Amino acid sequence: MAGATDAAYRQICMGYGAAYAVSEMISAKAVEYGDRRTAALCDLSQDKRPVFLQLFGDSPETFAIAAKRLLAYGPDGFDINMGCPVPKIAGNGAGSALLREPEKCGAIVAAVKDAVDVPVTVKLRAGWDPQHVNAVEVAKICEAAGADAVCIHGRTRDQMYQGRADWAVIRQVKEAVGIPVIGNGDVTGAMEAALMLDQTGCDLVMVGRAALGNPWVFQQINTYLTNDCRILPGPGIAERVLTIRQHIGLLCAYKGEERGMREARKHVGWYARGLRGAADFRRRAGELCTLDDLDRLLKDMYAANCAASQEE
């Protein structure tokens, strides 16, 4: 979710009912060295609360230094990333590579807990590969080290984002620890969230990639779980267009129009999925340079899909 779940998008998701949000991944080493670009990722001044800062790295000492420094930004907690599978993270001993060193996982959690006075959670994968599925072992070690909750993604590192997530692993972790367990993987809507809660006994459900261009998923999940399994339909074209404009407007307000519009291109492409004319809108999204460009695209998107709904 790096490069996507910044303050602007977190604000949109929280507005649609996300219980809490987690920042993009922040390098503990970069924080220790005082990198200014990394500091921008830690700014929570525009966020709705609660929001956790997520750290990655491979040294307990560096994690502790970074977490202590980042308290100045007022996070509601810290999330330790032990699940990222991408080579530039795992290949340097961080993210999911930590699963190969369970004792280090515990040392990292203990170091952060000693350094800060806010909750500390851990994001894990099922394991490194099918021969080393050790989420239960690592979760128990993290609990003993003081973790306040663990989130389990039901895929191994070598699966990346392919295949089905193994929810049985989430259930096994829930049965093995006493702290809250958050389930993650293949939750694309309200019914999947309800199924995960039922099949695993987990305490919360985390939605990741399925929320890209689809912040309404949180509202749909909450409605389904609290209103006798009522399925809330997706947004109409008017709400969709207004949400896109709000999101990209925030993005430009926080980062400046030039950078904001560059980053807007992928978001608008995600928002266009399932709409009439989606292929053309995605192409035009890739050419966005100004908010005026966006407004013209949204006007055409609204017109095309209003006409489609009238034909139906």
Q: How many CB atoms lie within 10 A of CB 144?
A: 12
- Whether residue 202 is found in the same domain as residue 261: no
- Whether residue 22 is found in the same domain as residue 108: yes
3-state SS assignment for residue 154: strand
pLDDT higher than threshold 80 for residue 298: yes
Q: Which of 175, 194, 226 represents a domain boundary (last residue)?
A: 226
- Angle 257-271/237-255 helices, nearest 10 degrees? 150
Provide the CATH number for the domain around residue 297: 1.10.1200.80
For residues 30 and 38, the answer to whether their CB atoms sit within 8 Å is yes
Q: What is residue 193's predicted lDDT score, i.e. its pLDDT?
A: 97
- Whether residue 196 is found in the same domain as residue 215: yes
- Whether residue 243 is found in the same domain as residue 222: no
pTM of structure: 0.94
- In angstroms, the CA 31 to CA 41 distance is 10
Peptide bond into 75 cis (omega under 30): no
- Whether residue 216 is found in the same domain as residue 266: no
Q: Which of 176, 204, 226 represents a domain boundary (last residue)?
A: 226
Q: What is residue 310's predicted lDDT score, i.e. its pLDDT?
A: 57
- Whether residue 78 is found in the same domain as residue 213: yes
Q: What is residue 149's predicted lDDT score, i.e. its pLDDT?
A: 98
- Whether residue 222 is found in the same domain as residue 262: no
The secondary structure of residue 189, as a DSSP letter, is S
- In angstroms, the CA 182 to CA 59 distance is 25
Query: Catalytic: which of 13, 42, 84, 202?
Result: 84
What mean pLDDT, rounded, does the chain reach?
95
Tens-digit pLDDT profile for residues 56-112: 999 999 999 999 999 999 999 999 999 999 999 999 999 999 999 999 999 999 999
Q: Is 1 domain-assigned?
A: no
Residue showing tokens 């070598």: 158
Q: What is residue 228's predicted lDDT score, i.e. its pLDDT?
A: 86
State the number of CA atoms in the 13 A half-sphere of 79 facing the CB. Answer: 24
- Whether residue 259 is found in the same domain as residue 135: no
Provide the CATH number for the domain around residue 67: 3.20.20.70
Q: What is residue 296's predicted lDDT score, i.e. its pLDDT?
A: 97
Tens-digit pLDDT profile for residues 25-63: 999 999 999 988 898 899 999 999 999 999 999 999 999
- Whether residue 35 is found in the same domain as residue 173: yes
3-state SS assignment for residue 123: strand
% of residues, the chain, pLDDT over 90: 93
Q: What is residue 308's predicted lDDT score, i.e. its pLDDT?
A: 61
- Whether residue 166 is found in the same domain as residue 257: no
Tens-digit pLDDT profile for residues 182-240: 999 999 999 999 999 999 999 999 999 999 999 999 999 999 999 888 999 999 999 99
Higher-confidence residue: 258 or 40?
258
Structurally, how many domains does the chain consist of? 2
Q: Which of 226, 252, 271 represents a domain boundary (last residue)?
A: 226
The secondary structure of residue 232, as a DSSP letter, is P
Q: What is residue 312's predicted lDDT score, i.e. its pLDDT?
A: 53
Tens-digit pLDDT profile for residues 107-146: 999 999 999 999 999 999 999 999 999 999 999 999 999 9
- In angstroms, the CA 147 to CA 106 distance is 9
- Whether residue 219 is found in the same domain as residue 162: yes
Terminal C-alpha separation, the chain: 36
- In angstroms, the CA 297 to CA 299 distance is 5
Q: For 80-103, b where at least 16 C-beta lie within 10 A, e where not — what string?
A: bbbbbbeeebbeeebbbbbbbebe
Whether 105 is catalytic: no
- Whether residue 51 is found in the same domain as residue 89: yes
Tens-digit pLDDT profile for residues 150-172: 999 999 999 999 999 999 999 99
- Give residue 266's domain range: 237-307
% of residues, the chain, pLDDT over 70: 98
